[in-house]
């Protein structure tokens, strides 16, 4: 509690001074101070956009695959193939994220000549997100009582239909929670992005273009000792990232509260 | 039930051969023929041959673990959903074997509905959607038809009056007895021909139980009901015919009054008088 509070306090104290409309909406710019030195002005809108794009792209890649894999493991994964998938999934979730960055760098960025791009970053983050979504989906589906499945089967509903419309919808709040938390988790990743997205001062024009992301920007700004204003912007960017993650956590709370103590299901 | 005694003879437990009655006394809805069931190596039903009459209530009684649930779960092919579960023999629904090659278990389950021991409404669905689930998930989209089916089923389950203003509430927010009646309505909504009930009142209080017993009696006109119960008074109250199962074997089967008043088998008598069970 105390460490958390002191971190938050420090980030808010330092970051708040950086906040302004310009900071939130502007692109990075250098100004010349009266002393003749350069100072950082402008804003981090490009990094915010980049992070949101990466989060969206990652979710679009990892959520459907993770959902399918989780459903498969929970419903049909009680065989050797299922067990090996589960094992690989566990291994993958323990992988150091920098290694995943290197992997994507050498295979996609260099090997397939995709280059530094939003796409490469999204793929790297997806590999981190996938095992989390798969795991939480499987776990939430397994929590659905046997009696609920039995009820659906006894109504003469086909197994796949029962799985999607009854089992998955009963497990829905757990699945949604898992997906949102995994997005929150990858939103703060910097290591796999260092080797995949490049950097950019302009708003995104395509997924094959280089992008900026908040974690990487925070790293670059905070390690900048010569350009004045950089450190302050670093704190500001950190504050924005924390607020973003907090919003996702709030979304989880709202998603799991719902009308029936869970996300309302519609059939 | 003037023909009861005569029917009884034909239905005796030893009579395991499928006898196609040449002079149908009352139409049969379900016949099991030398039905055997296993969980892995555990042989839980042994040569059960039972004939269930259309538009009557048949009770299945017996000590716990004797295979009552397994027997009815074999009738609508729910048994095979348990890993390692096996079945042999036949179950005839209107003379057609539900285990014949090419028969789709899903279509069997639509004709033979089931209500479980513990009320199990779909927890994230409203009362309305719970009842409509079977139809909706099989493709019914017509709102008027769904509305009619929901009302009709809730009426049959004696629940309409209690929930007609709360159809949008969660199914699991109802009381235990209401939940069980909701499950009955849900099963009836797909218009099955037979309703199997596995100790539907065992988790309920006496008032809730009385309501369900009454609605069961009411269902006879339209449905064939098979009810498993470990409560002999309940079997006596609601059923027309009773089957006594012991260690996976059908010991005695006949008209409920006859079976309770003069059981032919010593085992039945001992069970009915509470000597074991
Ligand atoms: N899912 C299951 N897996 C393995 N064995 C089971 C299962 N369900 C029931 N059995 C066994 O089958 C036998 C009959 O069970 P059941 O039909 O549930 O009896 P009843 O309903 O009469 O109490 C019991 O010995 C029980 O242990
Ligand atoms: Mg039972």
pLDDT per residue as tens digits for the range B114-158: 999 999 999 989 999 999 999 999 988 999 999 999 999 999 999
pLDDT at A25: 83
Do B120 and A148 count as a contact with CB atoms less than 8 A apart? yes
Cβ of residue B38 lying under 6 Å from some atom of ligand 1: no
Do A170 and B106 count as a contact with CB atoms less than 8 A apart? no
Provide the token pair at A78: 């009680």
Q: Which of B38, B64, B65, B74 to mutate to test the pocket of ligand 1 (most atoms within 8 A of CB)?
A: B65
Q: Which residue of B has its CA nearest to A146?
A: B120
What residue owns the CA closest to ligand 1's atom 2?
A: B39
Dihedral angle, C-alpha B86, B91, B97, B103, nearest 10 °: -40
- CB neighbourhood size of B208 (10 A): 19
Provide the token pair at B271: 């069970």
B67 Rama class: left (phi>0) / alpha (psi -120 to 50) / beta:
left
A156 Rama class: left (phi>0) / alpha (psi -120 to 50) / beta:
left
| CB A255 within 8 Å of CB B124 | no
User: What ipTM was predicted for this assembly?
Assistant: 0.86
Integer angstrom CA distances of residue B74 from A158, B61, B235: 18, 16, 21
pLDDT at A227: 81
CB nearest to B170's CB, from A166, A260, A263: A260
Our CA-based measurement puts residue B103 at a distance from the nearest CA of chain A, in whole angstroms, of 13
| CB A46 within 8 Å of CB A212 | yes
What residue owns the CA closest to ligand 1's atom 3?
A: B39
Cβ of residue B70 lying under 6 Å from some atom of ligand 1: yes
Interface of A with B (CB under 8 A): 78, 145, 147-148, 150-158, 161-162, 165-166, 169-170, 172, 259-267
**Average of per-residue pLDDT values in chain B:** 90
CATH code of A45-213, in short, is 1.10.3720.10
3-state SS class at A228: strand
Cβ of residue B64 lying under 6 Å from some atom of ligand 1: yes
B200 touches chain A (CB under 8 A): no
More confident residue, B240 or A228: B240
3-state SS class at A198: coil
What residue owns the CA closest to ligand 1's atom 26?
A: B65
What residue owns the CA closest to ligand 1's atom 17?
A: B67
Q: Report, as ranges of residue numbers, the positions in chain A whose pLDDT lies below 50.
A: 259, 261-264
Cα B137 from chain centre: 23
pLDDT at B174: 94
CB contacts < 8 A, A to B, total 91
Asked whether residue B4 carries a pLDDT value surpassing 50, the answer given is no
The partner residues of B115 in beta bridges, in order of sequence, read B197
pLDDT per residue as tens digits for the range B210-239: 999 999 999 999 999 999 998 899 999 999
pLDDT at A258: 58
Q: Determine if the pTM surpasses 0.90.
A: no
Q: Which of A79, A155, A258 to mutate to test the interface with B (most CBs of B within 10 A)?
A: A155
| CB A137 within 8 Å of CB A71 | yes
pLDDT per residue as tens digits for the range A41-65: 888 888 999 999 999 999 999 999 9
Distance CA B59, CA B79 (A): 19
> Average pLDDT in the B81-98 region?
94
B129 touches chain A (CB under 8 A): yes
Every domain of chain A with CATH number 1.10.3720.10 lies at: 45-213
pLDDT at A240: 93
Residues of A in contact with B137 (CB under 8 A): 152, 155, 157, 161-162, 165-166, 267
More confident residue, B22 or B89: B89
| Strands lying side by side in the sheet with B241-246 | B112-115, B194-198, B224-228, B57-61, B241-246, B249-255
SS3 content of chain A, % helix, strand, coil (to 5): 70, 5, 25
For residue A2, give the H/E element and its range.
Answer: helix A2-16
Which ligand is in closest contact with the Cα of B63? 1
């Amino acid at each position: 509690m105390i460490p958390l509070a002191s971190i938050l306090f420090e980030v808010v104290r330092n970051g708040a001074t950086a906040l302004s409309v310009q900071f939130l909406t502007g692109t990075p710019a250098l100004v010349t101070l009266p002393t003749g030195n350069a100072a950082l002005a402008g804003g981090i809108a490009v990094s915010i956009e980049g992070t949101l794009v990466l989060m969206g792209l990652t979710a679009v890649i990892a959520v459907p695959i993770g959902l399918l894999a989780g459903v498969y493991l929970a419903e049909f994964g009680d065989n050797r193939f299922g067990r090996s998938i589960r094992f690989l999934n566990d291994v993958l979730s323990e992988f150091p994220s920098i290694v995943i960055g290197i992997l994507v760098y050498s295979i996609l960025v260099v090997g397939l000549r995709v280059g530094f791009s939003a796409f490469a970053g999204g793929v790297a983050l997806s590999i981190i997100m996938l095992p989390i979504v798969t795991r939480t989906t499987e776990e939430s589906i397994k929590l659905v009582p046997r009696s609920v499945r039995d009820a659906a089967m006894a109504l003469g509903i086909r197994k796949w239909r029962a799985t999607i419309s009854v089992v998955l919808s009963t497990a829905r709040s757990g699945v949604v929670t898992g997906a949102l938390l995994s997005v929150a988790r990858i939103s703060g990743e910097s290591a796999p992005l260092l080797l995949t997205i490049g950097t950019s001062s302009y708003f995104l024009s395509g997924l094959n273009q280089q992008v900026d992301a908040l974690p990487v920007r925070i790293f670059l700004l905070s390690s900048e000792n010569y350009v004045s204003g950089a450190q302050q912007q670093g704190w500001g960017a950190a504050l924005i990232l924390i607020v973003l993650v907090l919003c996702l956590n709030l979304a989880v709370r709202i998603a799991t509260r719902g009308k029936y103590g869970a996300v309302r299901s519609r059939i | 039930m003037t023909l009861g005694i005569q029917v009884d003879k034909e239905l005796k437990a030893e009579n395991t051969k499928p006898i196609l009655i040449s002079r149908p006394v009352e139409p049969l809805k379900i016949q099991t023929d030398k039905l055997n069931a296993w969980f892995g190596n555990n042989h839980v039903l042994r040569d059960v041959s039972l004939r269930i009459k259309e538009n009557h209530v048949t009770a299945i009684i017996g000590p716990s673990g004797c295979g009552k649930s397994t027997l009815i779960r074999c009738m609508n092919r729910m048994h095979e959903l348990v890993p390692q579960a096996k079945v042999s023999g036949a179950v005839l629904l209107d003379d057609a074997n539900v285990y014949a090659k090419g028969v789709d278990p899903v279509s069997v389950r639509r004709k033979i509905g089931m209500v479980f021991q513990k009320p199990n409404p779909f927890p994230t669905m409203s009362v309305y959607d719970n009842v409509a689930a079977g139809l909706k998930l099989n493709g019914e989209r017509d709102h008027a038809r769904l509305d009619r089916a929901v009302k009709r089923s809730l009426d049959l389950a004696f629940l309409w009056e209690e929930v007609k203003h709360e159809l949008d509430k969660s199914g699991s927010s109802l009381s235990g007895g209401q939940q069980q009646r909701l499950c009955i309505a849900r099963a009836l909504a797909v218009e099955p021909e037979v309703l199997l009930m596995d100790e539907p009142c065992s988790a309920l209080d006496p008032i809730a139980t009385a309501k369900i017993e009454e609605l069961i009696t009411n269902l006879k006109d339209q449905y064939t009901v098979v009810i498993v119960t470990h409560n002999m008074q309940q079997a006596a109250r609601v059923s027309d015919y009773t089957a006594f199962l012991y260690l996976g074997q059908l010991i005695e089967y006949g008209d409920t009054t006859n079976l309770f008043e003069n059981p032919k088998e010593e085992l039945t008598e001992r069970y009915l008088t509470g000597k074991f069970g």
